[in-house]
Amino acid sequence: MLLALGHFIQARERKPEREFDRIDGDPPRVIIAGFGRVGQIVARVLRAQKIPFTALENSIEQVDASRRFGSTIYFGDPSRPELLRAAHADKAEIFVLATDDPEANVRTARMVKRMYPNLKIFARARNRQHAFRLMDLNVDGVIRETLEGSLDLTRQVLEALGQPPRVAQERVAQFRDHDEALLKAQHLVYDDDAALIQSSQDALIELEQIFAADTTETRGQKWVGGVNREW
């Protein structure tokens, strides 16, 4: 009875398989791999400018949901060489890697770099470790998915604490530049935990010094209604 029950549960949980879509149409300028939160935004901007793209997604549910809103999207695994050939990857200019699985993301980037070395890759990274692995592959751009939203949130918090908007914006811009430089430096030692921790501690001290120096430079100035006035 237990064996029969196990087979019954497996049969109910097993989802019906569907063949990958056949890709039609002219060669695109851009291929978007992954049509979730990130891929959809890229697609909307491209579509509004009538820039041809091909969107690939390996989730049946995501494909069906996107098609309800009129999106042209193909069901298939973007890490499969035959699917990329069908999508005319050899004629595309840009490959946007927006899949949300870090392992699949890196695997796809490695394959695309090998098969299409002239295709520029701009990849979404979930976190710093994911970004480091993509940087190992020398992709053209690595975008950390939470960075810009976190910086905008930080700016709003600083303003709510009483900092003038221009000062808050400058602090955020300084942090962005500093963190991008830190990311490149840590890429060289990211497999060494001790060096990685030390670089983070050193970076905090350096950032404190940057903010302190900037505060000293603006001392003796008064902010009135967002306007800088000497006093």
Rounded Cα gap, residues 180 and 33, in angstroms: 25
Clarify whether residues 155 and 174 are in a common domain. yes
Clarify whether residues 94 and 109 are in a common domain. yes
Clarify whether residues 197 and 136 are in a common domain. no
Clarify whether residues 115 and 180 are in a common domain. no
Element (H, E) at 63: helix 60-68
Residues in a beta bridge with 77? none
Clarify whether residues 177 and 97 are in a common domain. no
Clarify whether residues 90 and 110 are in a common domain. yes
pLDDT tens, N- to C-terminus, the chain (231 residues): 555 555 544 544 444 466 766 777 788 999 999 998 899 899 989 998 999 999 998 888 888 777 777 667 888 888 889 989 989 999 999 999 999 899 999 999 999 999 999 999 999 999 999 999 999 999 999 999 889 999 999 999 999 999 999 999 999 999 999 999 999 999 999 999 999 999 999 999 999 998 888 776 655 454 444 444 443
Clarify whether residues 160 and 108 are in a common domain. no
The answer to whether 51 and 27 have CB atoms below 8 angstroms apart is no
Clarify whether residues 122 and 154 are in a common domain. no
The whole-model pTM stands at 0.76
55 occurs within a structural domain: yes
Clarify whether residues 212 and 191 are in a common domain. yes
Q: Is 143 helix (H, G, I), strand (E, B) or coil?
A: strand
Residue at a domain's end among 127, 145, 163: 145
Domain range for 163 is: 148-219
Q: Number of folded domains in the chain?
A: 2
172 occurs within a structural domain: yes
Clarify whether residues 140 and 165 are in a common domain. no
Both tokens of 120, joined, read 């520029």
